[in-house]
Amino acid sequence: MKYEHKTQYYETDQMGIIHHSNYIRWFEEARVDFMDHCGFSYAQMEKDGLISPVLSVSCEYKTMTHFGDTVEIETEILKYNSVKLELSYTVRDKETGELRCIGKSSHCFLDRQGNVVSLKKGWDKYHQGFLKESVK
């Protein structure tokens, strides 16, 4: 799944390049878009009483991104077991295809009380959506 982001001036640092912290924000944008492609929105998950906090996130920077560039972020499921989800992100310049960075994030699933849940047990719509995307 690819998500597109056009860089903004406020995302740059004093050197005129995108500040490193913004890539993590882009991962989140891409993850929310990825979930839409799984057949549900993150907003709907929250309405249904399910949240998916970040357990860890990492980013390995390869080349610089500048103001005005458009990047494509490919999001893929690395691991999914109905309790935890691990995603990978590959960020490339849309025009040149040059690799900007790679990253990962891991998440679990909690109910409104903060209890860990298995999506296999009562959250089938979400479980099936992640399964569908993890077998591609």
Q: Which of 109, 135, 106, 104 is nearest to 120 (CA)?
A: 109
Q: Measure CA of the first residue to CA of the last residue in the chain; give whole Å.
A: 10
Write out the two tokens for 27.
């991962």
Compute the distance between CA of residue 130 and CA of residue 136 in angstroms, rounded to an integer.
11
In the annotation, is 13 catalytic?
Answer: yes
Q: Return the exposure string of 60-86: e unless at least 16 CB atoms fall within 10 Å of the residue's CB, then b.
A: eeeeebeeebebbbebebeebebeebb
Residue corresponding to tokens 């009483």 = 49
* Distance in angstroms (rounded) separating the CA atoms of residues 105 and 24: 9
Active site residues: 13
